[in-house]
Amino acid sequence: MTRRPLLKLLHKPRPPLTLSSVALGVLLCLPAQAATPVRSQPSSPLIKVSLSQPAPAPTAPKSAVPNPAPSGPVTSSGIPMLIPKVISRFPHDPDAFTEGFELVGSTLFESTGLVGQSSIRRTNLQSGEVLQSRVPPSSKVFSEGLTVMGEVAYQLTWQDGLVYLYDAQNLRSLGQLRYRGEGWGLTNDGKSLIMSDGSDTLYWRDPLSFAVTKKLRVTAAGAGIDKLNELEYLDGFVYANIWLSNKIARIDPLSGKVTAWIDVSNLAREAQAAAAKSGRELGFDDVPNGIAHNAAKGTLLLTGKRWPLVFEVKLP
Ligand SMILES: [Ca+2]
């Protein structure tokens, strides 16, 4: 089989992504490992320790508020600081080390990380009930960001260089594609996948080949913003959790500039209190990580790693 059918698919106006088109893309790309090399951010020793082994005695304060964001309507750099208003709270699996979070219709798709605990799951938003959960094809991988595009759910892995593809309806495996570098967050704008790798760069990728089609450095007041983690695309902006902080960046996908910060310190404190009330304590890496757009209501669903709650919020 030649690559001509794939090229044809890539160079004509693309119909909605279907299982058959993706299956073709996977089939054609697997032997070639077609994804373009990407810049890899040096791994943080902290994440290496905390994610690949049972948690050691923490070297950072055991707080879900490790790096409180400044409060107030505008930061010193002139970028607005938005405080979300909580309108609903829903239960969330306190064992879920959330790495990917997206709402499709009324179903929450979630990807959980850690080696041996990784999964892709469909859950009921209202009850928090896990409707279906599937472990990765390899038990050795660490799952990361997730997004659903058309009929296909994509799930990154942290340092395994694999993105898994699933039928979004039933989580049936559709195969895998390869990439170089780390995988952190994933979302899509309806045409391209958008990925973070822990650096200050976002990568647009082709949904059929996973090849990089665009790179964009994210900056605030001229300075690069790294540790971009879980992502969500909505209303023409990319929203990104910043790892080990209580800040979400709202990013202009044309300029890469942060146009607003969202301070979720209050949510982190409430999640920590709720966890403590149930006899659990959030660790230093149980940070905000999970942004899902509820388009029907014009709200955001926010959660964090091992948080017992999902917050539905409105932005001012
Ligand atoms: Ca998301």
Confidence of residue 39 (pLDDT cuts 50, 70, 90): very low
Q: Give the DSSP H/E element, type plus range, for residue 269.
A: helix 265-277
DSSP string, 48-79: HHHHHSS--S-SS-S-S-SSPPPPSSB-TTS-
Pick 197 or 51 by higher pLDDT.
Answer: 197
CA of 311 to the centre of ligand 1 (A): 14
How large is the greatest C-alpha to C-alpha distance in the chain, in angstroms? 59
Q: Is 99 in a helix, a strand, or coil? A: strand
66-112 residue pLDDT tens:
444 444 578 878 999 999 999 999 999 999 999 999 999 999 999 99
- What token pair was written down for 131? 């409707």
CA of 104 to the centre of ligand 1 (A): 11
CA of 71 to the centre of ligand 1 (A): 24
181-195 residue pLDDT tens:
999 999 999 999 999
CA of 153 to the centre of ligand 1 (A): 12
CA of 120 to the centre of ligand 1 (A): 13
pLDDT at 74: 80
CA of 8 to the centre of ligand 1 (A): 30
Confidence of residue 62 (pLDDT cuts 50, 70, 90): very low
pTM for the complete prediction? 0.81
CA of 145 to the centre of ligand 1 (A): 8
CA of 158 to the centre of ligand 1 (A): 16
Q: Give the DSSP H/E element, type plus range, for residue 47.
A: helix 45-52
CA-derived radius of gyration, the chain: 19
CA of 151 to the centre of ligand 1 (A): 17
CA of 143 to the centre of ligand 1 (A): 14
CA of 3 to the centre of ligand 1 (A): 32
> Buried b / exposed e across 124-145, counting CB within 10 Å, b at 16+?
ebeebeeeeebebeeeebbbbb
CA of 301 to the centre of ligand 1 (A): 9
Pick 68 or 212 by higher pLDDT.
Answer: 212
pLDDT at 1: 34
pLDDT above 80: residue 156: yes
257-309 residue pLDDT tens:
999 999 999 999 999 999 999 999 999 999 999 999 999 999 999 999 999 99
CA of 236 to the centre of ligand 1 (A): 14
Nearest CA to 65 among 305, 297, 298, 286? 286
CA of 172 to the centre of ligand 1 (A): 21
User: Cα separation of 101 and 316, whole Å?
Assistant: 22
Q: Give the DSSP H/E element, type plus range, for residue 209.
A: none
DSSP string, 154-203: EEEESSS-EEEEEETTT--EEEEEE-SS----EEE-SSSEEEE-SSSEEE
CA of 57 to the centre of ligand 1 (A): 30
User: Cα separation of 201 and 178, whole Å?
Assistant: 19
143-153 residue pLDDT tens:
999 999 999 99
User: Cα separation of 82 and 80, whole Å?
Assistant: 6
Half-sphere exposure of residue 133: CA atoms within 13 angstroms, side-chain side: 15
Q: Are 170 and 132 in contact (CB under 8 A)?
A: yes
CA of 292 to the centre of ligand 1 (A): 5
CA of 240 to the centre of ligand 1 (A): 8
CA of 1 to the centre of ligand 1 (A): 36
CA of 281 to the centre of ligand 1 (A): 25
* Choice among 24-28, 173-177, 248-252 with the minimum mean pLDDT: 24-28
CA of 187 to the centre of ligand 1 (A): 6
Q: Is 95 in a helix, a strand, or coil? A: coil
How far is CA 258 from each of CA 39, 183, 246, 300, rounded to the nearest angstrom? 21, 21, 15, 18
Q: Are 228 and 48 in contact (CB under 8 A)?
A: no
* Choice among 13-27, 151-165, 266-280 with the minimum mean pLDDT: 13-27
User: Cα separation of 121 and 97, whole Å?
Assistant: 12
CA of 279 to the centre of ligand 1 (A): 28
Q: Which CATH number applies to 37-314: 3.40.190.10, 3.40.50.620, 2.40.128.630, 3.50.30.30? A: 2.40.128.630
Cβ neighbourhood burial of 311 (10 Å; 0-12, 13-18, 19+): buried
User: What residues does each domain of the chain span?
Assistant: 37-314
pLDDT at 72: 56
Confidence of residue 19 (pLDDT cuts 50, 70, 90): low
